[in-house]
Amino acid sequence: MSGQKITIEYNDRVVRQFLLATVIWGAVGMLVGVLIAAQLNFWQLNFATPWLTFGRLRPLHTNAVIFAFVGNMMFAGIYYSTQRLVKARLASDFLSSLHFWGWQFIIVCAAVTLPLGLTRGKEYAELIWPINLMVVLIWVVFAVNFFWTLARRREPALYVAIWFYISTIVTIAMLYIVNHLSIPTSLLHSYPVFSGVQDALVQWWYGHNAVAFFLTTPILGIMYYFLPKAAERPVYSYRLSVVHFWSLVFVYIWAGPHHLLNTALPGWLQNLGMTFSLMLWAPSWGGMLNGLLTLRGAWHKLRTDPVLKFYAAAVTFYGMATFEGPLLSIKSVNALAHYTDWIIGHVHAGTLGWNGFMAAGLIYWLLPRLWNKPLYSTALANLHFWIGTVGILLYVAAMWTSGITQGLMLNATTEHGTVLAYPNFLDTLNTIRPMMLMRVIGGGLYLAGWFLLVYNFYRTVKGAAPVNGTIEVYDEAPAPDAKLSLAGTFFSAPTLFWFLAVGFSSMWMFGTDLVSTAGIVGAVACLIAAFALVPSRSQAWGGWYEKLLLNALPFTLLVFFAVVAGGLIQIIPTVLVQKAKNVEDRIQTPYTPLELAGRDIYIREGCYLCHSQMIRTLVPDILRYGDYSRLGESIYDHPFQWGSKRTGPDLARVGVKYPNVWHFRHMENPRAVSPGSNMPTYPWLFSHALDASVMPAKIKVQRLLGVPYGPRTAQQIFDSMDEQAKGIAKDLRTAGAYVDSDKEIVALISYLQTLGKSLPVITKSAPR
Amino acid sequence: MTPTPKPPLPDENEPLRPHSFDGIQEYDKRLPNWWLMTLFGAVVFWAGYWFYYERAHIGHTNAQIVEQQLAVIEATRLANAPTVDDASLWKMSRNPVFVDAGRASFETTCVSCHTKELTGAIGPNLVDHLWIHGGRPTEIYTTVTQGVLAKGMPPWGPVLGPKKISEAVAYILSYHQEGEPIEVQAAWVPPPPK
């Protein structure tokens, strides 16, 4: 070792900034969560105000806790640990600052636009297109800053935490861009390029993997750094790290369709989604094992150290949620649980337990180190832990009970299975009311715990001088050894076996007879060869992997190939298949301009957050809502509105089920026609005039996207809207409901009355 | 500020990997067997499941399964279809057990349009002598079962089933007398809202 000894000062300023943002946005996001949970119990809490209504605040809650709370926490953890793991200061102070302020600006934009009803109408992808562009830009800034830092590292090998960070950066970029492809109709509005089943598939490929690569992999990376640090124990198993990392990033991507089980999604995708979700159990538990078993020899410290308490509980909740996930992905379990509170409970076990507790542990551990002052109160931190834990348990137990109860009631039949035992949806809703109240209490406790953290944070840093970490290193170029060329990366036994196994398996899965047979033979041969070679070659393969760890770019490329496979195989066939053929036996009638305008109101108000438009291929769904939904019936829906939760009933076939005046009275005051309903009132729809001027631009984009609208002038569009609206207003008038035909409610009613309208298609072809 | 790494506990002789990262060391323990079995088991399950449903097509598709189940339900309904006639519906309407059961169904399902007093709002009045789709018990039964889509009356047959519908009709009839006049009304004109 030659070279001069120098001292590096880490950029901990940006870490402190992100940490502070985590604390603040965490409080905001959880507060909104408690509010909307309370709104479900007391509809009056919607205050008959557009921007305080559940449908607009729920996206604010999800976006705030995912992207603002966990996002900032992730950046703090990644920047703190990466600098130390690679022994280099963050590459650029400017990029670090831009990353921080850019991300906060995005959050503020989101917090303003979402309550205003500016949304893309896709869950966790609601932000409008100008904000999408900013997110992409800032993510690139993050990526450049991170990889540039890696390029300047003084530590040649990449530690397992860094693997997880790399997979996060690469995969989120891919998912985010594909799911946000849209064509603007104005500065604030756009239509997604995908529609119907394609949009559903892309959405849940994104949605599921946002959970995977935004809420899981970066936090696992953080676990691999901060947990052994806090426990002062070695990581349990490097080998387990390797196996569970690669299996996790490969398998996760395939599991997205489990959000669409028993729907109109083609069966092969449902089967892939279910089986890969089951395969995900072991890789997820690999992370849990490595976390919990690292605590071996340190369990006694849990008694006194709140940080370790949080970590141990977080990892346990991670294990619980990742066992529950595969369980819920089994089609028959899903038939009961999907659209119910069980899913809400599952998600919150992950977010409150895993993400929230990891964040708390991270913050309590970092505070003394970043401000060079002991934590203000360990007792308060311990209290936070206990209040938080009780809060989660109440929340999750309430949601399990609620979801299973409602699922059983909705699916129950009577009279030899020929009719529903509880035909009135509201009976099932009002049965779970006590559990919904329990959820507010549990969430409130969790929030109270968070406020303890806020106070502790404030008291700790008040008057404390921020301090930046330093390290002494030898100023020298990294050892030139062990460069792995691209050929050496890809033409190595482990990589080749991987590619061949995936290739052969795909041939077997999708090929025609001969290709399929070749595929199964190839896959089995691969398997036998790999196992036969393990005893003699495992050392060499291990050596190759260690060499790979010295090479960031080849490593990143391999990660990209691992995550891209599942997406390509699922999405490309679905997107390429001709729309006209992808309809089963029915095809949707395109919306009239007024109906389309009404649909955009439906999306603006977030109706899809409580109402699905997807009657599953399940008897109870069919008995309750009508014939099961066909692919063709949503083929022109940009975006799709299949929904993911039924706080209210499904609306796929609600069109013409009730007279116009029913919807009029219902939107005015849901309880006037549905006693016991918890739906908000929508008085503004009756006073706001519909903005028809935007419709020509919207229809133009719809045509561009392939919706069969004939050419028509703006005037023709306005005339058609006017005529249809007047007809509805007249019908309402005869039923005793008086409203001007230009009001938003008229457009919304026109949309609701068209739901389920479709034409039969003679040529039946089921695409694979 | 980087804390100094602690040496491993002295009583352990498990081999540590040679390299440490910012003081973090790693063991290289064997993968637990039960964990490996879980992973391999899931892979085997995937292959078997895929073969069963997608290659050999032994397992039926969702649509096939549900169509079969619906056929069974249809058959059960046909086999158990009650004979509904005016006389028996009138008889039921005088039986408190039927009427009470009917009231329960009515008050959860029908009141949103016909009101609790049955005097009508969105949907027509059911206690006067005016009937749009026929006022004989079997006609009422048919209207409830099949609905009148053009006027916004949903078909309740598949949702409520014949038993509950008979009870609800009995409840409506309990407000009427056998032999009272039945007048035909063209359309329902709702009263002005309160």
pLDDT of B121 reads 87
* CB-based contact, B183 to chain A, within 8 Å: no
Rounded to two decimals, the ipTM of the complex is: 0.93
Report CA-CA distances (Å) from B130 to A435, B5, B114, B115.
Answer: 45, 90, 14, 17
B81 against A751, higher pLDDT:
A751
Q: What is the mean pLDDT of residues A595-618?
A: 97
Q: What is the Cα gyration radius of chain B? A: 34
> In the predicted model, is pLDDT for residue A484 greater than 50?
yes
How does the average pLDDT of chain B come out, rounded?
88
**Does the beta-carbon distance from B53 to A415 stay under 8 Å?**
no
Taking the C-alpha atoms of residue A9 and residue A80, their distance in angstroms, rounded to an integer, is 12
**Does the beta-carbon distance from A419 to B55 stay under 8 Å?**
no
Least Cα distance to A317 among A218, A237, A395, A378 occurs for A395
Backbone angles phi, psi at A160, to 5 degrees: -55, -35
Q: Which of B28, B36, B163 sits opposite A415 (nearest CB)?
A: B163
Residues from chain B contacting residue A222 (CB–CB below 8 Å): none
Least Cα distance to A60 among A91, A12, A25 occurs for A25
Taking the C-alpha atoms of residue A158 and residue A155, their distance in angstroms, rounded to an integer, is 8
* CB-based contact, B113 to chain A, within 8 Å: yes
Taking the C-alpha atoms of residue A760 and residue A586, their distance in angstroms, rounded to an integer, is 4
Give me the helix-helix angle, A281-294 and A217-231, nearest 10°.
Answer: 20
* CB-based contact, B76 to chain A, within 8 Å: yes
Supply B185's token pair: 């009304």
Confidence band of A338 (pLDDT split at 50, 70, 90): very high
Three-state secondary structure call for residue B95: coil
* CB-based contact, A273 to chain B, within 8 Å: no
> In the predicted model, is pLDDT for residue B4 greater than 60?
no
Residues from chain A contacting residue B104 (CB–CB below 8 Å): none
Q: What is the architecture, at CATH level 2, of domain B83-184? A: Orthogonal Bundle (1.10)
> In the predicted model, is pLDDT for residue A120 greater than 80?
yes
> In the predicted model, is pLDDT for residue A249 greater than 90?
yes
CATH topology of domain A4-468: Cytochrome C Oxidase; Chain A (1.20.210)
Out of A460-464, A575-579, A642-646, least confident range: A575-579
Report CA-CA distances (Å) from B190 to A662, A758, B66, B108.
Answer: 12, 31, 41, 21
pLDDT tens digit sequence for A703-718: 999 999 989 999 999 9
**Which of A409, A419, A502, A754 to mutate to probe the B interface, most B CBs <10 Å?**
A419
Distance from CA of B31 to the nearest CA of A (A): 6
pLDDT tens digit sequence for A69-97: 999 999 999 999 999 999 999 999 999 99
> In the predicted model, is pLDDT for residue A1 greater than 50?
no
pLDDT of B10 reads 43
Which residues are bridge partners to A470 per DSSP? A9
Which residues are CB-contacts of A635 (< 8 A; sequence separation ≥ 6)?
A195, A196, A197, A579, A582, A583, A587, A588
Confidence band of B12 (pLDDT split at 50, 70, 90): low
Supply A390's token pair: 């009780």
Supply A13's token pair: 């300023």
Strands A182-184 and A190-192: antiparallel
* CB-based contact, A285 to chain B, within 8 Å: yes
Out of A153-167, A264-278, A750-764, least confident range: A750-764
Residues from chain B contacting residue A411 (CB–CB below 8 Å): none
* Percent of chain B at pLDDT exceeding 90: 58
pLDDT of A535 reads 87
Taking the C-alpha atoms of residue B108 and residue B90, their distance in angstroms, rounded to an integer, is 23
For residue B93, the Cα-to-chain-centroid distance in whole angstroms is 28
CATH topology of domain A586-760: Cytochrome Bc1 Complex; Chain D, domain 2 (1.10.760)
Strands A470-475 and A419-420: unpaired
* CB-based contact, A521 to chain B, within 8 Å: no
Structural contact between residues A5 and A473, judged by C-beta atoms closer than 8 angstroms: yes
pLDDT of A421 reads 92
Taking the C-alpha atoms of residue A732 and residue A724, their distance in angstroms, rounded to an integer, is 12
Tell me the whole-structure pTM to 2 decimals: 0.93
What letter would DSSP give residue A474? Answer: E
* CB-based contact, B81 to chain A, within 8 Å: no
A94 against A673, higher pLDDT:
A94
| Strand locations in A164-299 (E) | 182-184, 190-192
Measured at the CA of A23, the angle between CA A39 and CA A119, to 5 degrees, comes to 50
pLDDT of A416 reads 86
How does the average pLDDT of chain A come out, rounded?
94
pLDDT tens digit sequence for A15-49: 999 999 999 999 999 999 999 999 999 999 999 99
**Does the beta-carbon distance from A619 to B70 stay under 8 Å?**
yes
Residues from chain B contacting residue A282 (CB–CB below 8 Å): 35-36, 38-39, 42
Residues from chain B contacting residue A735 (CB–CB below 8 Å): 122, 190
Measured at the CA of A657, the angle between CA A649 and CA A608, to 5 degrees, comes to 35
Strands A586-588 and A758-760: antiparallel
Query: What is the chain B residue with the closest CA to A326?
Result: B42
**Does the beta-carbon distance from A737 to B109 stay under 8 Å?**
no
Q: What is the mean pLDDT of residues A421-441?
A: 95
Residue B57 class from Cβ within 10 Å (0-12 exposed, 13-18 middle, 19+ buried)? Answer: exposed
Q: Which of B24, B80, B112 sits opposite A228 (nearest CB)?
A: B24
Structural contact between residues A68 and A107, judged by C-beta atoms closer than 8 angstroms: yes
Q: What is the mean pLDDT of residues A610-617?
A: 97
Distance from CA of A277 to the nearest CA of B (A): 9
Which residues are bridge partners to A758 per DSSP? A588
Confidence band of A488 (pLDDT split at 50, 70, 90): confident
* CB-based contact, B48 to chain A, within 8 Å: no
**Does the beta-carbon distance from A275 to B49 stay under 8 Å?**
yes
Give me the helix-helix angle, A129-151 and A552-576, nearest 10°.
Answer: 150
* CB-based contact, B152 to chain A, within 8 Å: yes
pLDDT tens digit sequence for B103-162: 999 998 898 889 999 998 889 999 998 999 988 999 999 999 999 888 889 889 888 888
> In the predicted model, is pLDDT for residue A583 greater than 90?
no
Residues from chain B contacting residue A319 (CB–CB below 8 Å): none
* CB-based contact, A628 to chain B, within 8 Å: yes
pLDDT of A585 reads 80
pLDDT tens digit sequence for A280-301: 999 999 999 999 999 998 999 9
Strands A470-475 and A4-9: antiparallel
Q: Which of B35, B55, B122 sits opposite A659 (nearest CB)?
A: B122
Q: Which of A281, A508, A658 sits opposite B154 (nearest CB)?
A: A658
Taking the C-alpha atoms of residue A262 and residue A741, their distance in angstroms, rounded to an integer, is 40
Taking the C-alpha atoms of residue A358 and residue A363, their distance in angstroms, rounded to an integer, is 9
> In the predicted model, is pLDDT for residue B102 greater than 50?
yes
Structural contact between residues B84 and B157, judged by C-beta atoms closer than 8 angstroms: no
Least Cα distance to B124 among B138, B137, B110 occurs for B110
**Which of A275, A285, A550, A650 to mutate to probe the B interface, most B CBs <10 Å?**
A275
**Does the beta-carbon distance from B24 to A234 stay under 8 Å?**
yes
pLDDT tens digit sequence for A514-553: 999 999 999 999 999 988 998 899 899 999 999 999 999 9
**Does the beta-carbon distance from B80 to A470 stay under 8 Å?**
no
pLDDT of A487 reads 86
* CB-based contact, A659 to chain B, within 8 Å: yes
Confidence band of B13 (pLDDT split at 50, 70, 90): low
Q: What is the mean pLDDT of residues A645-670?
A: 95
**Does the beta-carbon distance from A674 to B112 stay under 8 Å?**
yes
pLDDT tens digit sequence for A131-167: 999 999 999 999 999 999 999 999 999 999 999 999 9
What does the buried/exposed string (b/e) look like for A213-247 if buried means 16 or more CB atoms within 10 Å of the residue's CB? bbbbbbbbbbbbbbbbbbbbbbbbbbbbbbbbbbb
Structural contact between residues A333 and A326, judged by C-beta atoms closer than 8 angstroms: no
pLDDT of A766 reads 44
Helix count and strand count (H, E) for chain B = 7, 2
Q: Which of A415, A420, A662 sits opposite B152 (nearest CB)?
A: A662
pLDDT tens digit sequence for B38-61: 999 999 999 999 999 999 999 999
Three-state secondary structure call for residue A247: helix
For residue A241, the Cα-to-chain-centroid distance in whole angstroms is 24
pLDDT of A480 reads 54
* CB-based contact, A423 to chain B, within 8 Å: yes
Taking the C-alpha atoms of residue B2 and residue A364, their distance in angstroms, rounded to an integer, is 16
pLDDT of B179 reads 87
Distance from CA of A623 to the nearest CA of B (A): 6
pLDDT tens digit sequence for A426-435: 999 999 999 9
Q: Which of A262, A369, A659 sits opposite B1 (nearest CB)?
A: A369
Which residue type does A285 have? W
pLDDT of A415 reads 84
Strands A413-414 and A758-760: unpaired
Residue extents of the structural domains in chain B: 33-78, 83-184
Confidence band of B15 (pLDDT split at 50, 70, 90): confident
Structural contact between residues A203 and A150, judged by C-beta atoms closer than 8 angstroms: no
**Does the beta-carbon distance from B31 to A239 stay under 8 Å?**
yes
Measured at the CA of A681, the angle between CA A679 and CA A687, to 5 degrees, comes to 150
